[in-house]
Amino acid sequence: MSALQIENLSVSYGRNTVVKNVNIDVKEGESFALVGESGSGKSTILKAIAGLAQEWTGRINLLGTALQPGQRLAGFAQQCQMVFQDPYGSLHPRKTVDTVLREPLVIHGLPDRNERVQDALTMVGLDKRFQFRFPHQLSGGQRQRVAIARALMLQPKVMLLDEPTSALDVSVQAEILNLLKRLRQEQGLTYLMVTHNLPVVSFMCDRMAIMKNGEIVETAPANALHSGAFHDPYAQHLYAASGGTGNNSQAS
C-alpha cells in the first residue's frame, strides 16, 4: 500500500514555478530520497506536503487522504511530521525541551504527558537530565535529537526529513543517521528524505528520485549507487561528481 502518492505536482512561488509535474509513489515503510543540487525543488516538495508551500497544483495523497493546497485536515499532524535541516532554528530558544515536546500533546489533548515526554527522550537517546534544558544548553546533535523526538510525539506514520544532518558536525552526522534508521525499523515509519549526499542515500534509503530544475529526471533503487547504473545523463553526472562512492556509508 502507498503511504504517499504525488501526481503531476507543480509548485509555484508567485510567477516562478519551482517544481514541475512531479510524480512519486512511496510505499508504507519505505525510505525514499529526493536527490539533487541546491535549488532543484527537493525541499519545496516537502513544504507542499506539509502545507508550508500553498501554491500548488496536482494531487497529493497521504495514507489514503487527499491533501488540498492551503489547508491541512484535522489529524494531519498525527499522520505526518517534518524534521527540518537546522536544529538551531527549529527549536524555540526560550522554551525548555519539556515545553517543546509537551506542546503537541497539549494541542491534541493527549494524557500522560510527562511519561510521554520522558519516553520520547529515551527513544532518541537522551536521558531525563535534558528534559528541562533550553536549546542553548544543548549541542547541535542533541538539538536535532529533540527535534526528532518532537516529530514523534504524536506517533506519525510518515516523516519528512529535510537534510536532517547537513547542519551538523561530521562526527555527529553518523549518530543521527543511525538513530533515524533505528527509529524507522522500531516504529514502522515511512521516510521521504531530501538530501544531496549520495552516501546518506545508500545508507538510509530504498529508492531515490533525482531532480534537476524542478523535475524528476530518473527514479532508481538506492543500490544503483553501488554500480552506477543510471540512465539519465544528469544522474550519471551526479554519481560521477560524488566520486562514484555511494556505497561508502557514513554510518555503521
Task: Tell me the pLDDT of the chain averaged across its residues.
Answer: 93
How far is it, in rounded angstroms, from Cα 108 to Cα 111?
Answer: 9
pLDDT score of 89 more than 50: yes
| Global pTM value | 0.93
C-alpha distance from residue 49 to each of 81, 126, 131, 205 (Å): 10, 29, 30, 19
Residue closest to 178 by CA, chosen among 203, 206, 141, 144 = 203
Neighbours of 128 (CB within 10 A): 10
In Å, the largest CA–CA distance within the chain is 54
Classified as helix, coil or strand, 176 is helix
Residues 135, 20, single domain; the answer is no
Domain limit, last residue, from 155, 172, 200? 155
Least confident of 26-35, 156-165, 232-241: 232-241
Least confident of 89-93, 124-128, 189-193: 89-93
Tracing cell 526529513 back to the chain, one arrives at 161
Cell 499532524 belongs to residue? 77
Residue 186's domain spans which residues?
2-79+157-241
Rounded to a whole number of angstroms, the CA Rg of the chain reads 18
Q: Identify the bridge partners of residue 218 per DSSP, sorted by sequence position.
A: 210
pLDDT above 80 for 251: no
- Residue 247: pLDDT above 50? no
Sign of CA dihedral 129, 135, 138, 143: positive
End residue of a domain, out of 107, 126, 155: 155
Strand order in the sheet with 56-62: 16-27, 2-13, 56-62, 65-67
Residue that finishes a domain, picked among 155, 174, 189 = 155
Region 178-188: mean pLDDT is 97
Whether residue 149 has pLDDT greater than 50: yes
Mean pLDDT for 196-224 is: 95
In this predicted model, what pLDDT tens digit does every residue of 9-34 receive, in sequence order? 999 999 999 999 999 999 999 999 99
Q: Which residues contact 102 (CB under 8 A, 6 or more apart)?
A: 113, 117
Task: Examine the domain organization and report whether 50 and 165 are in the same domain.
Answer: yes
Give the three cell numbers for residue 127.
Answer: 536521558
Question: Residue 71 maps to which CATH number?
Answer: 3.40.50.300
Instruction: For residues 214 and 236, state if they share a domain.
Output: yes
